[in-house]
Amino acid sequence: MPEVAAVAPSGAELERIACAAVRAGAAVVADGYGRARAVARKSSPTDVVTQTDLDAEQVVRDLLLAATPDAGLLGEEGGGRAPDARVQWVVDPLDGTVNFLYGIPLFSVSVAAAVEGTVVAGAVIDVLRDELFSARLDGGARCDDAEIAVSRCERLAEALTVTGFSYQADLRAAQGEVAQRLLPLARDVRCFGSAALQLCWVACGRVDAYFERDIKIWDYSAGALIAAEAGATTELPCPENDDLVIAATPRVFDDLRAAVELGAA
């Protein structure tokens, strides 16, 4: 008899598991806050890993694989598992590690679930505020179980815009030029150090727009889904957009997209 493919859990169930996983990771991260130390470097001398990153990812991995034993998993610190599995978890155990290392109280844990390559559920938790954002595909977005939506901002000139910067020096220089060009066009441009949270802040209307280049799939997978389900217009990295992630209120998106093109006049 032909082998029958396993049925993937529903989006609602994957969202529930993701929420439980980020809460478990947040407990580890909160316990380590105030006594962090770097134990490794990743892409550059300024791109650090702490023991808390490693410990939190292990706890999150254990919970996810206990709930979905046949799933694959891609973690920022621990690499991949079962890349051909129908369900894939994408894990960032500590988004905002530099903030965490310096004692800046803004960092998150992010978990997304993809089924056959499409992200269908995700959760992001602001560790110290204990603020939990989540969404499932075609099921809306929530903050602490209350429905959320993007702001009503209609003009880039009125948009509070957030971004982040690469750890690669040459790309940071180009990003600085983009930020300089955008500053007189937007209400303001700010950088808080956690891509996942900044996407969630677009989702709940705390900011109006977000863009960034040179971030990884675990940085944006959950947050981008949450933003989209809250009504943001989003774009994810591809060769044609110079590795851009962008999420903004629908009326702001096009003008922001044009303003942040690399090499634009």
Q: Which pLDDT score, from 0 to 100, does residue 4 have? A: 44
User: Which of 17, 8, 18, 16 has its CA nearest to residue 221?
Assistant: 18
Would the pLDDT of 41 be above 90?
no
Tokens encoding 186: 């937007």
| Per-domain boundaries in the chain | 11-147, 156-259
Query: Element (H or E) spanning 182, and its range?
Result: helix 169-182
User: Which of 252, 235, 23, 54 has its CA nearest to residue 133?
Assistant: 23
Contact 21, 132 (CB under 8 A): no
Domain over 156-259 is classified CATH 3.40.190.80: yes
Q: What is the pTM of this model?
A: 0.93
Average confidence score pLDDT of the chain: 91
Contact 57, 25 (CB under 8 A): yes
Tens of pLDDT, residue by residue over 145-174, are 999 999 999 999 999 999 999 888 888 898
User: Which of 67, 56, 62 has its CA nearest to residue 121?
Assistant: 67
β 108-115/87-95 pair status: antiparallel
Q: Which CATH architecture has domain 11-147?
A: 2-Layer Sandwich (3.30)
Q: Which pLDDT score, from 0 to 100, does residue 2 have? A: 45
Compute the distance between CA of residue 70 and CA of residue 56 in angstroms, rounded to an integer.
21
Would the pLDDT of 3 be above 50?
no
Q: Which pLDDT score, from 0 to 100, does residue 239 have? A: 84
Compute the distance between CA of residue 43 and CA of residue 223 in angstroms, rounded to an integer.
22
Compute the distance between CA of residue 3 and CA of residue 173 in angstroms, rounded to an integer.
53
Tens of pLDDT, residue by residue over 54-108, are 999 999 999 999 999 999 999 877 778 888 999 999 999 999 999 999 999 999 9
Write down the residue that tokens 């955008």 correspond to.
182
Tens of pLDDT, residue by residue over 190-248, are 999 999 999 999 999 999 999 999 999 999 999 999 999 999 999 999 888 889 999 99
HSE-up of 257 (CA within 13 Å, CB side)? 18
Q: Which pLDDT score, from 0 to 100, does residue 83 have? A: 86
Mean pLDDT to the nearest integer, 27-33: 95
